[in-house]
Amino acid sequence: MGSVGQRPRPPRTRREAMPADSSDPARHAVGEVLHGPMHAALDARTVRAVAAVAAIGVSAGRYPKAVPALDANEDAVTGLAGPGGTVVAVADGHLGADAAGAAVEAVARRARRLITGRPVDGRRAVTAVVNEALDAVAEARRVATGRRRDTATALSVVVVAGGTAWTVTFGDTAVVRVRRGRPRVLSRPGPFLADTAATPKARRQRLRPGDHLVVISDGVADHLGREWPAAVARRVAAGATPDGVVDAVLLGAMDGAAGDHLSCAVVRCDPG
């Protein structure tokens, strides 16, 4: 993307909380899935709060992709919070939004059942939701036609329970822990999730009160610049709430002349 002579106006933002009677996850799981094709307008972003501890957001970017995608926005993101824990996932589709959408729907479906009761075993929970996503992507590929038969997705899943985070990453989505203003990248790039993908090893991370886990698609990292982990940390400092952090991260990528689809999820570790 060439240089832009005049700084564009701040993009339109939709920031919405869950309904008031669903905003407290102490009794049941609450959450949502955002599918990129439903948020395809350029220079706009949608941000949703998930209870008080998490938020998700998606954008088609500020400018069109240099190489047009099969769908206007191939990212997808989900976040759920409940008495058993918090689960977020970011997916970045390839050859359509089919795989990304199937993956996050599967994560949300399984997570909703897992976190409604007592605190979950994070390792078992992340394995369960990833296995559900693998099955869903395999089915999406089976029923797809044309180029979409090779649909695949990058995917990062985070399960937080009992002061511990468990993460799994396929492809080039990323997970960053920000502690006292300092970022640490917890994920490693690997193969995309497809029907033949081997499951990466789940990674464990102890959390402290005030820690933030930020999950992003590669479009966010690319347009925040080479020092994107530090850029993420600055956005954490600027956002007073998880949805504020998501909004700041997406806006930062858009200000970097984003010509890619963008998605972000944030979990804040609160005391207790």
pLDDT in tens, 73-101: 999 999 999 999 999 999 999 999 999 99
- Within 8 A by CB and 6+ apart from 203, the residues are 166, 167, 168, 186, 187
Asked whether the whole model's pTM tops 0.85, one would answer yes
Ranges of residues in the chain whose predicted pLDDT is under 70: 1-27, 195-197, 272
Hey, which residues does 203 pair with through a beta bridge?
167
Burial class (CB in 10 A: 0-12, 13-18, 19+), 47: buried
Question: For residue range 6-31, what is the model confidence (pLDDT) as tens digits?
Answer: 444 445 566 544 433 344 555 678 99
58 contacts 109 by C-beta, under 8 angstroms: no
Nearest to 270 by CA among 211, 229, 223, 222: 211
Count CB neighbours of 182 within 10 A.
10
The CA distances from residue 97 to 215, 232, 272, in Å, are 18, 25, 38
Q: What DSSP assignment string belongs to the chain?
A: ----SSPPPPPEEEEEPPPGGGS-TTSS-EEEEEEGGGS--TTEEEEEEETTTEEEEEE--SS--SS--SSS--EEEEEEEETTEEEEEEEEEESSSHHHHHHHHHHHHHHHHHTTSSPP-HHHHHHHHHHHHHHHHHHHHHH--GGGGG-EEEEEEEEEETTEEEEEEETT-EEEEEETTEEEE-----PPB-TTPPPPPPEEEE--TT-EEEEE-HHHHHHH-TTHHHHHHHHHHH-SSHHHHHHHHHHHHHHTT--S-EEEEEEE----
Return phi, psi of residue 212, to 5°.
-120, 135
Task: Report which residue type is found at 145.
Answer: T
CA distance linking residue 158 with residue 247, whole number of Å: 19
258 contacts 63 by C-beta, under 8 angstroms: yes
What pLDDT does 256 receive?
Answer: 92
Tell me the two tokens of residue 99. Answer: 């795989």
Q: What domains can be seen in the chain, in order of their start residue?
A: 29-194+202-268 (3.60.40.10)
